[in-house]
Structure 1
């Protein structure tokens, strides 16, 4: 297990991922790499204890816990640990960067404020009248196609 060191990953505004609270674990990655794959631990598992963190504002934390637990992204005994894995690169460092970027994006999306509720508006009278007029014209056109009146 190790801790990260590198550029801060901004979640939103001035809040960024706290390096001290991120825990990295490295395992052998499957995929391309030949003999290199069998000898190096390049897959990264990044863990962040969302339930115990003091970095996020309380409102953000509650919102993220609710959204991420509903999506099945949280693990642990209390269900408050966010886990992200990355193994797409052959380098441990690049996988670590990818995992941290992905985690910051996940947290940014989970802490976003809910969208404003849609306000139902009345359909303007002119729109309804135009629709009914076109409907009437179309009906007249179809009625005019019948060959009843031809003699």
Structure 2
């Protein structure tokens, strides 16, 4: 079981791992070892709660496909095991971020004192600008 947070867990058999050769620099090692990892999770077929499935499917993330699968590819490390750990960490981070419920905002009004301070500031600023409009007084 993979623990996402205190309420959510994901079974290991729901994850599909695919291994392939990594791209980029690395010489012969890159050409003969399958160290790149692709983690696939089918959102609709998972044991996640329905509200989390809906939130994930409506999320605008490049790792979530139109068919409802999460694809995470990791090839930073030369080790397959480290790439697996990084891909799993990315999945846990994605699911944890989607499971956070936003607090409902309660509408508030400005206080009487804050209104008075704002108006006093506006009057002060207006008075400063009004002083600039007058012609200078010449004293002889």
TM-score, length-scaled by structure 1:
0.78
What SS does the corresponding residue of 2:105 show, helix, strand or coil? coil
- CA separation in 2, counterparts of 1:101 and 1:43? 15
Equivalent residue for 1:5? none
The alignment's C-alpha RMSD in Å is 2.1
Post-superposition CA distance 1:86-134 (Å, at most 9, x none): 0011111100111111011111112322x12322211112212212212
Unaligned runs of 5+ in 1: 1-7
Say how many residue pairs are matched. Answer: 138
* 1:32, distance to aligned residue in structure 2 (A): 3.3
Matched, 1:47 2:35: no
- CA separation in 1, counterparts of 2:108 and 2:55? 29
| Shift >4 Å, 4+ stretches | 148-151
What are the within-5 Å matches in structure 2 for residues 88-103 of structure 1?
88-103=76-91
Preserved CA contact (<8 Å) 1:61 1:111: no
Change (3 A) 1:125 1:98: same
